[in-house]
Amino acid sequence: MRNGEKTVVHRFTEENWEELVLRSPIPVFVDFRLPERPSFVIGSTDLLWLRQEWEGQALVGYLDVSRNLLLALRYPVVDLPTLSLFWGGRIVKSFVGPTRFRQDFRGYMGRLSPRVPWLQEMTWVTGKSGRA
């Protein structure tokens, strides 16, 4: 993150879903949440951590299921919270329920990295400091 630049976590809605999620040229992480129930939300610190880890390489945001129910019903969200990784307009991986999010996520992405070139550039996967 650059000096003075705020870390942005997007708020996805039915109005911006197609543009920001389905047509995104980069991966998109969507936290399907129910804000009225704190246990059904991935912690804001985890979303900010994810956003900082993927700075400039992915979008990170959330979808309020209660306000966007018809949109949420299009996807296999079986429990809340659910964090889904969209790539090419489709879900490629979901983390369901209150998990050890960072550990589970890093383990999955670490296994994926040899097959996905842009993942090899991530600091926490390679130990290097970003893009060349």
What DSSP string describes 15-75? TTHIIIIIT-SS-EEEEEE-TTSGGGS--HHHHHHHHHHTTTT-EEEEEETTTSHHHHTTS
Q: Is there a contact between 9 and 19 (Cβ–Cβ < 8 Å)? A: no
For residues 113 and 77, give the distance between their C-alpha atoms in angstroms, rounded to a whole number. Answer: 25
| pLDDT less than 70: residues of the chain | 1-7, 38-44, 98-103, 105-132
Spans of all domains in the chain: 10-126
Neighbouring C-beta atoms of residue 65, cutoff 10 Å: 20
Which pTM does this prediction carry?
Answer: 0.74
Query: In the CATH scheme, what architecture does the domain 10-126 have?
Result: 3-Layer(aba) Sandwich (3.40)
Q: What is the pLDDT of residue 98?
A: 65
